[in-house]
Amino acid sequence: DYVDGQKVSYHDLIYAAMKGMLSSLDPHSQFMDPDDFKDMQDDTRSRFNGLGVEVGVKDGLLTVVTPMEDTPAAKAGIQAGDQILKINGAATDKLGLQEAVDVLRGAPGQKITLTILRPSTREIKDYPLERKEIKVQSVKGGQLLDPELTGPFKVGYVRIVQFNEPTADEFSKTLDDLQKQGMQALVLDLRNNPGGLLNSAVDVLGQFLPPNTKVVSTQGRASSQQHEYSTPGGTKERPRFPLVVLVNEGSASGSEIVAGALKDLHRAIVVGETTFGKGSVQNVMQLPDGSALRFTTAKYYTPSMAVIQGNGVTPNILVPLTPEQDRAVAALRSNDQIQPSQATGIIKTKDLQMMRGIDALKGVMIYAQQTSPQVEAVKK
């Protein structure tokens, strides 16, 4: 009996009702129409169209979890923790998370303006952006750091941008290459890594921990949501080389699981800033018409039973960066054309988290060298 019956269909009403019901549960529960569901599947395969910004809801505000490297958002200077007040002039306070994601995404070439509040400075600024096709290379770096930084030791560096389907295999091959080069210790950079697939994160942990090691568990209201996840069997055995994990406010979900497990199990020294605190489990139920329900069923717990959701992972060594330092590090990470000597200079003067991590590794190796003849400095 609605007066303008031609303006709305039963199908649209059902979709709107489903979106309202799911979004009222928590910021991470949502109803996805067929296009949204396809976008989510594309995310796990490392490709999508948009700005390259991962968003969430924090303290009731649409917040940047992390800008992905080599994307319009990162190149424009958007940072983790930035609050999106408006999209194309329209306030975001009434938008659900999926609605916001829908608005942010779009065909390559389309222009969009984000009005951003940066909490650290209270500055409000408009960022004009252009959507592009985003292809995420999940594993980057894969190199030995400059001896000017590491002294007589060979320290490898690997950055995981996101945990996708190919990540674990790519990471394993990268470690193989570094070991062939004589790597003695590793810096694993998970800064601005928004997470991704749980199985991928667990498989990456299998590169550092013995098979069948419990690395994360879930607990929900129903007993069916209580699960334990362990490292896979059959993973190539690697030396127990010293390991540092770098994290920051942009490290979320899967990266928090990896950092939390390695910290709790005393396999790595975690350096940087407290992580985002996105540790809830969403189940996805596909419906016959191609749409899907995504709803929170449990929370993630580290091996010591610390809850990640809302708390994050606190580093062993806390090293905050100033906004200027953060911008310099982000620019370095997103520019593959910078010469190694120039990169070393930027790291020494701006990337205090990396330097503290390297110092920690050098300390571990010097101690091991003095107590065991098996660890020897590399002769230059």
Catalytic residue, chosen from 58, 140, 263, 278, is 278
253: annotated active-site residue: yes
Catalytic residue, chosen from 264, 291, 350, 362, is 264
264: annotated active-site residue: yes
75: annotated active-site residue: no
Catalytic residue, chosen from 29, 253, 280, 291, is 253
3-state secondary structure the chain: CCCCHHHCCHHHHHHHHHHHHHHCCCCCCEEECHHHHHHHHHHHCCEEEECCEEEEEECCEEEEEEECCCCHHHHHCCCCCCEEEEECCEECCCCCHHHHHHHHCCCCCCEEEEEEEECCCCEEEEEEEECEEEECCCEEEEEECCHHHHCCCCEEEEEECCECCCHHHHHHHHHHHHHHCCCCEEEEECCCCCCECHHHHHHHHCCCCCCCCEEEEEEECCHHHCEEEECCCCCCCCCCCCEEEEECCCCCCHHHHHHHHHHHCCCCEEEECCCCCCCEEEEEEECCCCCEEEEEEEEEECCCCCECCCCCCCCCEECCCCHHHHHHHHHHHCCCCCCHHHHHHHHHHHCHHHHHHHHHHHHHHHHHHHHCCCCCCCCC
Query: Hey, which residues are catalytic here?
Result: 253, 264, 278
